A and B are shown apart, each in its own frame.
Chain A
Amino acid sequence: MDLYLLSPEISLLATALAVILLDLFVKEKWILGWVSVTGVIVSAIFALSLWGRVETSFGGALAVDQFSIFFSLLFLGIAALILISSTEYSRKFAAFRAEYYALVLLATTGMMLLASTRELISIFVALELTGISLYVLAGFLKDAKSSEAGLKYLLLGAVASAVLLYGMALVYGLTGTTYLDEIAAAISSQGILGSPALLMGIVLLVAGFGFKIAAVPFQMWVPDVYEGAPTPVTAYLSVASKAAGFAVILRIFYEALGPASLDWGMIFAVLAAITMTIGNIVALTQKNIKRMLAYSSIAQAGYIMIGLAAFTAEASSAIMFFLACYALTNLGAFIAIIAISNKINSDEIADYSGMVRRAPLFALALALCLISLTGIPPTAGFMAKIYIFSAGVNADLLWLVIIAVINSVISAYYYLRVVRVMFLGEPLSEERVHASSGLRIALAITCLGVLLLGIYPWILMKYSEIAAITFLP
C-alpha cells in the first residue's frame, strides 16, 4: 500500500482541516482563501508527479492512472479558480468563510476520489462526500432562495443516492463483486448479459448518475438550485460536479459495464437527444441569466452524453476534452456574472443592457464565453463540439449528431441574445462596474484558456487521448 498514491487527496484534506483550525487563530480572514489556493496548488503538484504511473492500491479499490490524474487536475483547476473568484463574494457570509473554503476543498477531495476509485462502495462514499459538501454550500447564504436551494438539493440528492445504491446492489447481487474489473469479467463469463435484473440495475445507475450530470428527466433540481445557491457555488456545481459525474460514469460504464454497452449505449443516446433539446428549448424563455445558464448546462450535458453513447476511446477522449473546455468556458461566464451582479445586484438579462460601456472587459469576456458555449471558432467550445461530434459520427451516431447540430443553432439564439443586449443596448446607468483583482485574474485565466484551446487544442487533446485509453479494452 503506497500512501504516496493518495498524496493529492491527503494534502487537500489536510488543507481543509488546516483552514478550519486556522480560522480560530487568524484575524485576517482573507489569508484563509490564499491558504486554500496554496493547498490546491500543492495537491496539483502531487498529482502532476504521479502522471505516468499506472498503479492500484488498497486492494485494487484505488487506481492511480492517467485518467484519474487528468480529472484530479481538472477538479483542482476548477477549485482554484472558484476559490480565487470567491474572495470578494465571500464577504456575504463573512463569519463562515473558513467553513466555505473547507467545504469547497472537501467536495474537491471527494471528486478526485470519485475519479480514482474502482470499487462500488468506495465510489458511493466518495459520491456522498462530494454531495454532502455541496448540499451545505448550496444553502450557504442566509436568504430564503438559498436555503430552499440547499434543502431541495439535499432531499432530491438523497433520492438519487437511494436509487443509485439500489442499482449498485442489483449489480453486486448478480456478479457477486463490487470491483469494477471483476464485474466486467463476471458479466461476460456468467451469462448475465441481457438479464432483466442487470438491465434494471443499469437503468437505476443511469438515473442515479443522471441526477449528478443533470440529464433529463433527472434535471429538475438544476434551475432552482443554480438560481438560489451563491453564484460561485453555482459555477462550481455547473462544472465540477458535472465533470465528476461524467468521470464516474466513464469509470463504471466503460470499465465494469462495457460488455453490456449495447443496452446502455442506446439509453444514453436517447437521453442525450432529449436532454440537449429540452435544455436548449427551455433556455430560450429564460430572463434570469443564472437560470439561463442552468438550462444551458443541461443542454451541454446532452452534447457530452453523445460521447457516452459512442463508447469508443475517441469518444472518451472527446468527453474529457469537452469537459475541460466547458469548465473553462462556463467558469469564465460565471466569473463575469459574479463581477457584474455584485455591482448591479441583479441577475436579470435585461439589466445587462449596454454593459459593454460600463464594464468593457467583463462584457467582452462574457461575450467570448457565450460565443464559446455556442460553439463558434476560434474558441474552445468550437473545438470541443467538433471533437465530440466527430467521435459520434465515427461511432455511427449520425442521427444524434444531426440533432445536436440543430440544437447548437437553436442555442445561438439565447446565447447571442445576451451579447446583443450587452453590446447594442443602452446602459441603464453610467456607473462603471469594478471588481476585485481576484476576479480579474480568474477571468483572464479562463478567457486565455478558451482562446488557447480554440486555437491550439492539441495542447490538451494529446493528454486526453492518453488518459482515455488507460482502462479501455
Chain B
Amino acid sequence: MPNIAVWAIFLLPFLSFLIIGLILRPFFNNRPMLSAYTTIIAIAGSLILSIWALIAVNGAENHVLTDVSYQWLSIGDLVINIGITMDSLAAIMVVTVSTISLLVQIYSIGYMKGDGGFARYFAFMSLFTGSMLGLVMANNLLFLFLFWEGVGLCSYLLIGFWFHKPSAARAAMKAFLVTRIGDFGFLVAVIFLYVKTGTFDIGELHELALAGVLGGTTLTLAAIGIFSGAVGKSGQFPLHTWLPDAMEGPTPVSALIHAATMVTAGVYLIARMFPMIASSETAITVVAIIGGFTAIFAASMGLVATDIKRVLAFSTISQLGYMMLGMGAVGMGYASGAIDEHHAMALGVAVAIFHLFTHAFFKALLFLGSGSVSHATGTFDMRKMGGLRKIQPWTYATFLIGSLSLAGIWPLAGFWSKEGILHEANAYAPVLFWLAMITVFMTAFYMFRAVFLTFHGEYRGGEEGSHGHGLHESPKIIIIPLVILAVFAVIAGWLPVGDFLGADVHFSFFGALTSWLAWVSLIFGFAGILLAYAIYGRKLLSAESIGKSLGPIYTLLIRKYFIDELYERIFLMRFLVDGVFVVLGWIDAHIVDGAVNGVAMVTMTGGKVMRRLETGQLQVYGLAIFVGILAIVAFLFMFN
C-alpha cells in the first residue's frame, strides 16, 4: 500500500472540510446537500483506504505497515517531526472511526434536514473525523497533541452547534474547560518527556521505558500526566462531568463523540502509550483504580437518569472505565511479574481496544436509536415516552439488540469484549473485578429500564406541543444505519481483533460458555434485566416506593453525587468558568490595559518627544546622519 494512500486516510476529511468551508459554503449555500455528499464521499474514501490498510497491515512484517517521519522544522537543537504510523492498533482504530463516522454522516442527512447550519455541520463533522483519524495515526506525541486539540476544538464547536441555546453554549464551554484541565497535564508531560529524553517519538519513548533508561519518578510523573489527558477526554472520574452535559449537541454528534471520535481518544492514548505507562507500576495501578471506580460510579448514576441520552452518556463513561480497567489490570500483572513483557504489551492493548471496537458499534447504535425515538416524540425524556414498540418496530428491534449487546449477553458483541476485561481483572486485580461484576448488573438494569420505559407500556404523550405531526417510524435514511450497526453489534465480537493486535485470544463460540466467569457475568446480567422487567415492564414493584425507601441514596444518585454542585458552587467550576472570566477580565482591565496604557502613556510621551524631532526638515535629517556617525564612533572608542 503506497504511503500517500495511508496519509490520505486522515487528509481526505480535512480536504472535505476545506472544500466545504472555502467553496461550498460561500458560493453554493443554496445547495446544502453538496456539503453532505462531499463529507460522505471523503469519509467513505477514508473507510476504503482504512480497510485496505487493515489488510495490508495484516500481511506486513510485525504488523507494521509504515512508520515514517518528516522533518517539520528544525531550529537550533529543536527538531520537530511529523510522522504517521500504520500498525495493527492504528489500523483497527481507523477502520472503527471511519465506519462509525460514515454511518453517522448518512444518518445526519435525515436528522439535520432543514437545519440552517447544515453545511457548517458537515464541515465540522469532517474536521472532527479527520482530526480523530490523524490522532490515531500520529507517531509522535507533539503531532498527536495537535490532533488531540483539534478533536477538542471540534467537540466544542459541535456540542455548541446550536449556540443560540444557552444550555448548549454552556455545555460546550464546560466540555472545553473540563477537558482542558486534563490536556494541561498531558502537555506538561509531553514537554517534560522531551526535556528528559530529547524526543517526542512514541516508539523511542517505549524503547527507553522498556529498557529502564526512562524510569523512576520521571516516568511515573510523565505517565500520570499523560493519563490525566486521557481522564479528561474519556470522561473518567473526576473529570467526567462534561460528558452528560454534552448531550446538548445534535444527537448524531453525541453518537460520534461517544462511539468513535472523542472519548475513545483517551483510551486510545493509553493503549498507544501502554508500554511506557505499564513500565511504571504506580501509574498503571492508578489507571486500573480510576478505571474500575469510574465504571461502577458512572453506572450507578445511570440507574436513575430520566433522559435517555444521559443514561447512554453514563453508560459510556462506565464502559470507558472498563477499558481503562482492562489495561490497568494487565499492567498490574506485568508489574508483578505474572505476565512476560512481550505478552503483556499485546494483551493490555488487545483487551481494551477490543472492547472499544465492539462498544463503538452498539453505542453508536443506541445513540442513533435514541435520536430516532426523539425524532418521533420530540423529547429525550423517558417519562414522556412509552409504547413505541409498535410504532417504531425497526428502532425498537435495533435498540434492543444494542441493549443486549451492551448488557453483555452471549453471543452478542459486548459479551466477548467484556469477558476479556473481566478475565484479566479477575486474575490481577480481584477487588476491582468484583466492582466490575456489580457494574455488569447495573448496566443490564439501566439499559433495560430504558428499553421498558421507552418502548413498552402506554405512550405518555411526548413533548408538549409536538402532538401535531403524529408518531411515525423514522425515514429510511435513519433506519438503514441503525440496521447496519445492529448487525455489527451482534457480530463484532466474533472478529479476531485480539489476535490481530498480537494477543493470543482463543475464540470459541460455545467454548466460552464453559468458564465459570462467563456464567457469573451472564447471571448478573440477566438479574439486572429481570429486575428492570419486574419494576418497569410488569410493574410488580413500584419505582416510586423503591425510590422513597432508598431516599438519601436516590437523591445522591439523581444529583450525580453532588459533584457538579461541588465543582460549580464550591470551587472548580466557579473557579474555572466564573474565575477564568473574572481573572481574564481583571487581567484585561488592569494588566493588559493597564500595562499597555501605562506603557503607551510612557512611550507615547516619549513618542511625542521623538516625533517632535522629526520636523520634516531636511537639514535636521542630514545632520542626524552625521550626529549618528559621531555617536557610534564615540561609542566605539569608549569601549576600545
Q: Which A residues are within 8 Å of any B CB, using their own CB?
A: 152, 155-156, 159-160, 163, 194, 199-200, 203-204, 206-207, 210-211, 216-218, 220-221, 223-224, 263, 266-267, 270-271, 278, 280-285, 314, 383, 386-387, 390-391, 394, 410, 413, 456-458, 461
Contacts and interface: CB of A to CB of B under 8 A. Distances in A.
B599 A410 contact: yes
28 contacts: A152-B621, A155-B622, A156-B622, A159-B625, A163-B625, A194-B640, A203-B636, A204-B629, A206-B632, A207-B625, A210-B628, A211-B625, A216-B628, A217-B631, A220-B614, A220-B625, A221-B621, A224-B616, A270-B635, A280-B603, A282-B610, A282-B611, A283-B607, A284-B600, A284-B607, A390-B76, A394-B76, A458-B73
Interface in B607-629: 607-608, 610-611, 614, 616, 618, 620-622, 624-625, 627-629
Contacts of A204: 629
Interface in B135-194: none
Given A390-B76, A413-B599, A199 B621 contact: no
Contacts of B621: 152, 156, 220-221
A211 B624 CA distance: 11
B599 A458 contact: no
A20 to B, nearest CB: 31
Contacts of B628: 207, 210, 216-218
Given A156-B618, A156-B625, A207-B629, A284 B604 contact: yes
Given A156-B622, A220-B621, A281 B76 contact: no
Contacts of A282: 607, 610-611
Contacts of B510: none
A410 B603 contact: yes
B62 interface: no
A216 B621 CA distance: 12
Interface in B72-112: 72-76, 78
Contacts of A461: 73-74
B556 interface: no
Contact of B629 (A203, A278, A383): A203
Contact of B639 (A210, A266, A271): A266
B545 interface: no
Nearest to A217: B628
Contacts of A159: 622, 625
Contact of B610 (A266, A281, A394, A456): A281
A155 B74 CA distance: 45
A284 B608 CA distance: 10
B633 interface: yes
Interface residues of B, number: 35
B399 to A, nearest CB: 45
Given A199-B636, A211-B625, A456-B72, 15 more contacts: A156-B625, A194-B640, A203-B632, A217-B624, A220-B621, A266-B639, A278-B610, A281-B606, A282-B611, A285-B604, A285-B607, A387-B75, A390-B78, A410-B603, A461-B74
A335 B286 CA distance: 57
Contacts of B78: 390
Contact of A220 (B599, B603, B620, B629): B620
A409 B133 CA distance: 37
A455 to B, nearest CB: 9
B625 A160 contact: yes
Q: 6 smallest A-B Cβ distances: which pairs?
A: A217-B628, A285-B607, A220-B621, A281-B603, A207-B629, A282-B607
A469 B472 CA distance: 75
A401 to B, nearest CB: 13
Nearest to A280: B603
A12 B32 CA distance: 49
A207 B636 CA distance: 14
Nearest to B607: A285
A278 B610 CA distance: 8
A271 B635 CA distance: 11
Nearest to A393: B76
A386 B76 CA distance: 10
Contacts of B640: 194, 199
Contacts of A152: 618, 621
Contacts of A410: 599, 603
Given A207-B628, A221-B621, A224-B616, A458 B72 contact: yes
A163 B607 CA distance: 29
B515 interface: no
Nearest to B596: A413
B605 to A, nearest CB: 9
A72 B150 CA distance: 39
B71 interface: yes
Contact of A458 (B74, B611, B622): B74
Interface centre among B603, B620, B631 (most CB of A within 10 A): B603
A377 B456 CA distance: 56
Interface in B52-81: 71-76, 78
Contacts of A223: 614
B71 A458 contact: yes
A284 B600 CA distance: 7
A298 B530 CA distance: 80
Contacts of B629: 163, 203-204, 207
Interface centre among A207, A266, A284, A394 (most CB of B within 10 A): A284
B449 to A, nearest CB: 49
Contacts of A160: 625
Contacts of B620: 220
B625 A218 contact: yes
B198 to A, nearest CB: 17
B168 to A, nearest CB: 25
Contacts of A285: 604, 607-608, 611
Interface in B181-228: none
A200 B636 CA distance: 10
A218 B616 CA distance: 14
Contact of B75 (A200, A211, A271, A386): A386
Nearest to A406: B599
A288 to B, nearest CB: 12
B618 A155 contact: yes
Given A217-B631, A221-B621, A413 B600 contact: yes
A458 B632 CA distance: 38
A360 B73 CA distance: 33
Contacts of B631: 217
A463 to B, nearest CB: 14
Nearest to A389: B75
A220 B624 contact: yes
A206 B625 CA distance: 11
Nearest to A318: B75
A224 B640 CA distance: 37
A217 B627 CA distance: 8
Nearest to A224: B616
A109 B593 CA distance: 47
Contacts of B75: 386-387, 390
Contacts of B632: 203, 206-207, 267, 271
Contacts of B71: 458
B593 to A, nearest CB: 10
Contacts of B74: 458, 461
A285 B613 CA distance: 14
Contacts of A163: 625, 629
A362 to B, nearest CB: 15
A220 B611 CA distance: 10
Contact of A383 (B73, B599, B607, B624): B73
A390 B614 CA distance: 34
Nearest to B75: A390
A206 B632 CA distance: 10
A427 to B, nearest CB: 21
